[in-house]
Amino acid sequence: MNTLDIVKDLIGFDTTSRNSNLALIDYAQALLEKSGARCRRTYDEGNAKANLFATFGPDGDGGFVLSGHTDVVPVDGQDWSSNPFKPEVRGSKLFGRGACDMKGFVGTALALAPEIGKARLKKPIHFALSYDEEVGCAGVKGLLDDLKAQNLKPALAIIGEPTLMKIVGAHKGGAKLVTRCCGREHHSSGPEKGANAVMMAGEFVALLDKVWDELRADIDSRFDPPHSTVQATVIHGGTAVNILAKETEVTWEYRALPDRNPNAIIARIKHRAAAEILPKYQQRAPEAAFHTTLHAQYPGLVMDEDSAAIRLARELTGANQMEAVSWRG
């Protein structure tokens, strides 16, 4: 099993998060089972996407997990000089969507399956491949729930995110939230006779920026940036230039230092939006409101340089320095 060929095959599956990943999962499961792995799947609600958990060696607790996600971010509107789903080697580099994040790792691990399958393992080695990591780590929850239901307790996991081969022992926590700004439609010639949800959304985005400024005072220099962050990333709303918008949605996120309480950030924003923005709009339209929905949330990883996973990574790589990152691994 040639590592490069497997990675190329994986890139060839368009597993952008909006698409199914089942063809890739079928491919990976066939390779793993051919090498003797025992495989389990967990699916999303529509059975269009799946997590794959594979085990080599004895049953029971302990052992190591090699973990990676199968989805990739979109290529829409990007200036690729080649087809991102038809990988190309140029010089010493492989070009294709997901080559680093993270089909390179997944393919390398799969290429080792025959070797792992032949080993006389005293503890199990597991493979965990998940879906929808790029949209808030939404898929892996089903895999974790299944492990809990089966009472499977691996000792540690190595997640092969691209880190330039540095050992990352801490990352920020984060969440995807959507706030629906609800106003009242009216002709734009009489703005005080309605509540313009687009304007509400603008003030809400400004509030997010204020809260972010306040969070800058709480520093952990291991991270870049060294503080928690809050920002809006997508806005949808409005119907016409001469109509006050009835609804506007703001998609936003926080990325919080791992040993802080992220729910306090959400509570602060919701409280201040209600206290500082809503009264003006409710004077015009009593039904004006903010409704915030938590779509995905993942915890931060606190640095523990004495953890079994870090000790193993140090032993395997010879590294002495641990890194911290602002994205999830």
pLDDT digit string (tens) for 212-270? 999 999 999 999 999 999 999 999 999 999 999 999 999 999 999 999 999 999 999 99
> Mean pLDDT, to the nearest integer, of 129-158?
92
In the predicted structure, residue 209 carries a pLDDT above the cut 90 = yes
| Predicted local confidence at residue 278, as pLDDT | 98
| Predicted local confidence at residue 138, as pLDDT | 85
Report the range out of 152-156, 273-277, 322-326 with the highest average pLDDT: 273-277
The residue from 140, 162, 184 where one domain ends is 162
Q: Within this chain, do residues 11 and 134 fall inside the same structural domain, yes or no?
A: yes
pLDDT digits (tens, 9 = 90+) for 167-188: 999 999 999 999 999 999 999 9
The residues that are catalytic are 71, 133
CA distance 132 to 27: 18
In total, how many domains does the chain have? 2
> Mean pLDDT, to the nearest integer, of 120-126?
96
Contact 250, 205 (CB under 8 A): yes
3-state DSSP helix/strand/coil % of the chain, to nearest 5: 30, 25, 40
CA distance 210 to 231: 10
Which residue range forms the structural domain that includes residue 232?
171-298
User: Has residue 199 been placed in a domain?
Assistant: yes
In the predicted structure, residue 329 carries a pLDDT above the cut 60 = no
User: Has residue 116 been placed in a domain?
Assistant: yes
In the predicted structure, residue 291 carries a pLDDT above the cut 70 = yes
User: Has residue 126 been placed in a domain?
Assistant: yes
Q: Within this chain, do residues 61 and 155 fall inside the same structural domain, yes or no?
A: yes
- Label residue 148 by pLDDT band (50, 70, 90): very high
In the predicted structure, residue 105 carries a pLDDT above the cut 60 = yes
CA distance 91 to 295: 42
| Closest by CA position to 196, among listed 135, 284, 101, 74 | 284
pTM greater than 0.95 (yes/no): no
Phi (first) and psi of residue 46, to 5 degrees: -95, 5
User: Has residue 257 been placed in a domain?
Assistant: yes
The percent of residues above 70 in pLDDT, for the chain, comes to 100
| Predicted local confidence at residue 196, as pLDDT | 98
Contact 132, 71 (CB under 8 A): yes
Q: Within this chain, do residues 144 and 49 fall inside the same structural domain, yes or no?
A: yes
In the predicted structure, residue 106 carries a pLDDT above the cut 70 = yes
In the predicted structure, residue 327 carries a pLDDT above the cut 90 = no
Q: 33 or 329: whose pLDDT is higher?
A: 33
Pairing of the two strands 38-43 and 50-56: antiparallel
Q: Within this chain, do residues 197 and 118 fall inside the same structural domain, yes or no?
A: no
| Predicted local confidence at residue 137, as pLDDT | 82
Q: State the CATH number of the domain containing residue 197.
A: 3.30.70.360
> Mean pLDDT, to the nearest integer, of 311-322?
90
| Predicted local confidence at residue 159, as pLDDT | 93
What's the whole-number average pLDDT of the chain? Answer: 95
- Label residue 320 by pLDDT band (50, 70, 90): confident
CB atoms within 10 A of CB 320: 7
